[in-house]
Amino acid sequence: MASSTVSSGTRRVRRQLPTSPWLFAAPGLLVAGAFILYPFVSTLVNSFTDRRTLVPGEFVGLANFRELLHDDMFWIGLRNSTLYVLGVVPALVLLPLLLAMLVQKTIPGITFFRSAFYTPVVASIVVVGLIWVWLLDERGLVNAVLETIGVGRIGFLSDQWLILLSAMAVTVWKGLGYYMIIYLAALANVPRELHEAAAVDGAGALRRFFTVTVPAVRSTMVLVAALASVAAFKVFSEVYLMAGPDGGPAGEDTTLVMLVQRTGTGLTGRVGYASAISVVVFVVTLVLMLLVLRADRKEES
């Protein structure tokens, strides 16, 4: 492959062989086509079939989607994934911004703090999940502290709603540093004069935050909201690790992607039905992105 391109190039300096750019792009296009776009299309196609892992399956029309409407587990998954977006996104839009403001000033040692706050981002979600499973254990550190200060022990990992809340907290904890860096870049572009003018006008810190900082980083907040909401809706690992593979008590903590994984894998996996759930994931993800972008435009006008 390489040698033919080289020789043709030297022979005809002025004109490129029309195939050589395609050779450059070929590996990337091949991977994108074979392992992302083809599976995407086949997910759409499979969602209209009763395909199983070992059975090719036949076209069944909208049967899978009709079944979804009466599948309690699907509604539980949809509820949990939606709650996840509602719980996680506001925290991930606001807290990293405050954190970025905290580490913005270049005071001694600040690079150490910035790096330390970013550390949860580089750790695998499995590591992070297991660390928090141990911290929130009935006999873990958090409960030991709560008992010492007289609050008493809390079953973070035994109650259906507390499990979901704990998983959300872990997602926020792991995402803080990532979005902090995004905000840090945005804050660097806020003109200092704006703050000074507001200070001269007698605006306090809180007032300046809402009248100067927030408007100046608003487009970044929209970006963070978009990234965080799409990621939150597709949550898998945190809940899988904290609630267990079966999704906690009676499966009540199952998220949509957990349901896809549980339904579609294994030798008896219902590929067609899992694909129908995946299509719902696509559609909601798309709607979430459009909603965030529209909210952005409305506020602008």
Identity of residue 21: P
Distance of CA 75 to the CA centre of its chain: 20
Gap between the Cα atoms of 258 and 276, Å rounded:
14
Count of Cβ atoms closer than 10 Å to residue 269 Cβ = 17
Q: Residues 158, 219, 265, 268: which binds another protein (CB under 8 A)?
A: 265
Least distance from another protein to the Cβ atom of residue 134, Å: 6
Selected range binding another protein among 69-77, 86-94, 259-267, 291-299, rule: CB under 8 A: 259-267
Tell me if 103 contacts another protein by CB under 8 A.
yes
Selected range binding another protein among 72-80, 85-93, 144-152, 209-217, rule: CB under 8 A: 144-152
Secondary structure class of 247 (helix, strand, coil): coil
Alpha helix stretches (DSSP H) within the chain: 2-11, 20-32, 38-46, 63-69, 72-104, 110-122, 125-135, 141-148, 160-187, 192-200, 205-208, 214-216, 218-233, 237-243, 256-264, 271-300
Of 14-53, which residues contact another protein (CB under 8 A)?
Answer: 16, 18, 20-22, 24-25, 27-29, 31-40, 42-43, 46, 53
Of 177-236, which residues contact another protein (CB under 8 A)?
Answer: 177-178, 181-182, 185, 192, 223, 227, 230, 234, 236
- By CB under 8 A, how many residues form the interface with another protein? 100
**Contact partners, residue 127, CB within 8 Å, separation at least 6:** none
Selected range binding another protein among 83-91, 174-182, 210-218, 291-299, rule: CB under 8 A: 174-182
Q: Residues 87, 247, 251, 264: which binds another protein (CB under 8 A)?
A: 264
Q: Residues 63, 91, 94, 131: which binds another protein (CB under 8 A)?
A: 131
Using CA atoms, how far residue 235 sits from 8, 77, 105, 247, 252, in Å, is 50, 11, 34, 12, 15
| Residue 68 or 274 having the CB closest to another protein | 274
